[in-house]
Structure formats: C-alpha cells, structure tokens
Amino acid sequence: MLNVVQLSCERDDRLLFSNLSFQLGSGEILQIEGRNGAGKTSLLRIIAGFSSSLSGDIFWNDQPLSTVYADFRLDCFFLGHKPGLKLDLTPLENLVWRARLSNTIINREVLLAALDRVQLAGYEDIPCSHLSAGQLRRVAFAGLIASPARLWILDEPFTAIDIEGVSWLERLFDEHTHQGGMVLVTSHQPLNDRQGKLRKLNVEHFGEERSVDGERGQDVQG
C-alpha cells in the first residue's frame, strides 16, 4: 500500500499544494486531476523519488519510503510525459535496458510477447529513432506489460495515442488491478470505471483546510 500523509510542495517560491493525503491499495486506480500547473506532475515525481517535497510523509507497505526506497523502486514503474527511451536503441534493447535499471532480468520471450501485444512485432530490431511518436509510446507500454512492478505511476499516459489506444490502455489498467496491482495516473482524459476501482483526487482542492474522504467514484477532496 502507498500512503501519502500531509504532503506539501513548493515550486519557484509558489506553494502548489499542502496537506495532501491519500492511500492507494492493491487493486485500485487513483486518477490525479487538476489544471495545468496545479502540481500533478510534481506530485507524481515526489512519490517516485525524483523530487523532494516541502513537507509531509510517504509510506510504502507501512514503512517510511526513505527507509525502503530500494525495494520501492523495484516495485514501481514510472512513465512520464516522455516515453523514456534511448532513440539509438531498438525497442527490444530499450526494454532490456529499462529492466536492468531496476536490477530485473526479464526473459527475452516475455519482452517479445510484450512488444507483440502492443502491435510492434517485427519492429523489435528497428532503432527507435525510426519510429513514430505513437509507436514510441507503445514501446513504453510494452515495458509496463513486461514489468513485475505492482505500482504504476503514469503521467499523462494517453498522450499521442488514438481512441482505440485509450480503450486498450484502460483495459490494461483493469487487468493490472485485477491481478492486485495499483495505478496512480494523471490524465485530462476521463477514465471508465468498469470495475468500480477508480477514485479521483483533484490537487487544486488542497492548500485549503479540508479532510480527505476517500469516497469511491468521487473526488478525494480535502
């Protein structure tokens, strides 16, 4: 379980949010909402360990994140605005490289199957510099499929994909959570709550003195 307690974030001498708290457990999806500049990306980067917060606490499996960060990184897959790929490498080489960053060894056949599932079979040995933006996004999604990580932290993952791709990615979320995984996602795209596992949190509601209610299907408002 991920537990965020009274988190505050300041950027460029401006307080983005304060007293932000939420929990994300096995089988759940939490969609982070808010206007551009409200702090959605900053929140995800803080949780992933790429940025420091002004104040607050983050716990992973009831342990302070700072004390179990190595284990957390093995159990977390972060995908930002950009696909995070090396363009001089092939899709297959990128998946191997990404796995090694997490000290994970993934069977070649598993990686090839993941590329096949995102409709990139036959592209595994083509340099990523030759692929379109949508294809690069699919390489990143193949990394999600192949990864053993339980927690997916995804910043605007629907960028550069079409309507069919949006539906496919939502089904991937459903599959991951059905297997006990967790998804923390920012998106301006409304998500379908087919399994009743979706909660929403609007970062713009924080900074004011409110308490988190955690009600499903509603904004997790402070």
Query: Does a structural domain hold residue 126?
Result: no
Using DSSP bridges, classify how beta strands 29-33 and 55-60 pair: parallel, antiparallel or unpaired.
unpaired
Query: Does a structural domain hold residue 42?
Result: yes
Query: Does a structural domain hold residue 127?
Result: no
pLDDT higher than 80, residue 163: yes
Q: What letter does residue 81 receive in the DSSP assignment?
A: S
Residue 207 is predicted with a pLDDT of 54
Number of independent structural domains in the chain: 1
The CATH number of whichever domain residue 197 belongs to comes to 3.40.50.300
Query: Does a structural domain hold residue 193?
Result: yes
Distance CA 205, CA 157 (A): 23
Domain that holds residue 222: 1-75+185-222
Query: Does a structural domain hold residue 103?
Result: no
- Per residue in 47-84, pLDDT (tens digit) is 998 887 678 999 999 999 999 999 998 899 999 988 88
Indicate the SS3 state at residue 198.
strand
Query: Does a structural domain hold residue 157?
Result: no
